[in-house]
Amino acid sequence: MTALVLDGKSLARKIEAELAAKVIELTSKAGGTKPVLATILVGDDPASATYVKMKGNACERIGMASLRVILSQSTTTDELLAEIDKLNADPRVHGILLQHPVPKQIDERKCFDRIAQEKDVDGVTALGFGSMSMNEPAYGSATPAGIMRLLLDYGVSIEGKHAVVVGRSPILGKPIAMMLLNANATVTICHSRTQGLPQLIGLADILIGAVGKPRFIKGEWIKDGAIVIDAGYHPGGVGDIDLSAGTDRYAAYTPVPGGVGPMTIAMLMAQTVESAEKSLV
């Protein structure tokens, strides 16, 4: 069979074009006020700086404004909380993104949860996760939301399928599991203590690789006809799933790069525009 390529790069371009038109209309209605995404970068991690720059560039592409807050490596939890409080109180800011990871001395969860829910466009707060899990209105974690949009736009059926999620991080593994469950999949969550991992992966109709280890999931573990979603990205342009033996056995798969990654930023932009619509109109 020839696998369907779930091309996140092309879909993200389409979404950005739609958002750009929406931002023009929104800005006009708001008397020239643009949607604003605030990004907080703590420390000097080069990868994090690159990701923040990419998000700022995406804002520019669709006509939004970005507000960059850069804090030193020695920043304390209290200092970061104070910055978040300022952004929460600023009516010009419609979305807040705290770049992960932060330096070790900072209580990251406490800082994530300080973000006002109406500005939590990256879907990182515990309150937002709980609301999303209960099928209540909330902004979803950006990467899981991007995966769901990718499946939807490519017409991949979820209802009744067995989805296996490898990874349980609070901003990827857990939220995508809940989103799939809300879409009526039967969901198995695997993690570092899971026994018989290859056998469980072999049962997956939909496989989500979200473990954060390069080529950890072997292609021979995956059954024929599976939908293969790789949410990992590592040096050398490889993901969490080893697809070096080929993809012809699968019904569909996400390439790395160009699959899930572009959708993460697209959904962050979309949710910021949605927040601005609620605030400005």
pLDDT in tens, 167-189: 999 999 999 999 999 999 999 99
178-182 own/partner pairs: CB under 8 Å, 24+ apart: 178/129, 178/132, 178/133, 179/132, 179/140, 179/144, 179/145, 179/147, 179/148, 180/148, 180/206, 180/208, 182/132, 182/133, 182/135
pTM of the model: 0.95
Is residue 23 one of the residues assigned to a domain? no
Residue 99 appears among annotated catalytic residues = yes
The pLDDT assigned to 7 comes to 98
Write the CATH number for 163: 3.40.50.720
Confidence of residue 280 (pLDDT cuts 50, 70, 90): confident
Q: Is the pLDDT of residue 61 over 80?
A: yes
Q: Are residues 191 and 254 in the same domain?
A: yes
Write the CATH number for 73: 3.40.50.10860
Is residue 124 one of the residues assigned to a domain? no
Structural domain boundaries, residue 232? 142-261
Is residue 73 one of the residues assigned to a domain? yes
Q: Are residues 45 and 156 in the same domain?
A: no
Is residue 77 one of the residues assigned to a domain? yes
Q: Are residues 167 and 210 in the same domain?
A: yes
Find the catalytic residue in 7, 99, 205, 271.
Answer: 99
Is residue 83 one of the residues assigned to a domain? yes
Q: Are residues 202 and 246 in the same domain?
A: yes
Average pLDDT over residues 114-143: 97
185-230 pLDDT, tens digit per residue, is 999 999 999 999 999 999 999 999 999 999 999 999 999 999 999 9
Is residue 3 one of the residues assigned to a domain? no
d(CA 9, CA 90): 33
Q: Is the pLDDT of residue 20 over 80?
A: yes
Q: Are residues 63 and 106 in the same domain?
A: yes
Asked if 149 and 263 count as a contact pair (C-beta separation under 8 A), the reply is yes
CA diameter of the chain: 59
124-134 pLDDT, tens digit per residue, is 999 999 999 99
Q: Are residues 181 and 242 in the same domain?
A: yes
d(CA 253, CA 143): 16
Residue 34 appears among annotated catalytic residues = no
Q: Are residues 111 and 158 in the same domain?
A: no
Q: Are residues 256 and 157 in the same domain?
A: yes
Asked if 268 and 23 count as a contact pair (C-beta separation under 8 A), the reply is no
The interaxial angle of helices 260-280 and 8-29, nearest 10 deg, is 10
Residue 122 appears among annotated catalytic residues = yes
Which residue's entry shows tokens 């994530």? 112
**Among the residues of the chain, which ranges form H helices?**
8-29, 46-62, 77-89, 108-112, 126-133, 142-153, 173-182, 197-201, 260-280
Find the catalytic residue in 122, 230, 240, 242.
Answer: 122
Q: Are residues 164 and 257 in the same domain?
A: yes
Query: How, if at all, do strands 252-253 and 4-5 pair?
Result: parallel
Residue 242 has phi, psi (to 5 degrees) of -85, 105
Asked if 23 and 61 count as a contact pair (C-beta separation under 8 A), the reply is no
Q: Are residues 187 and 225 in the same domain?
A: yes
Q: Is the pLDDT of residue 1 over 80?
A: no
Average pLDDT over residues 86-92: 97
Q: Are residues 51 and 96 in the same domain?
A: yes
Query: What is the number of domains present in the chain?
Result: 2
253-273 pLDDT, tens digit per residue, is 999 999 999 999 999 999 999
Q: Is the pLDDT of residue 281 over 80?
A: no
Find the catalytic residue in 34, 55, 119, 174.
Answer: 55
CA 264 to chain centroid: 4
The pLDDT assigned to 16 comes to 98
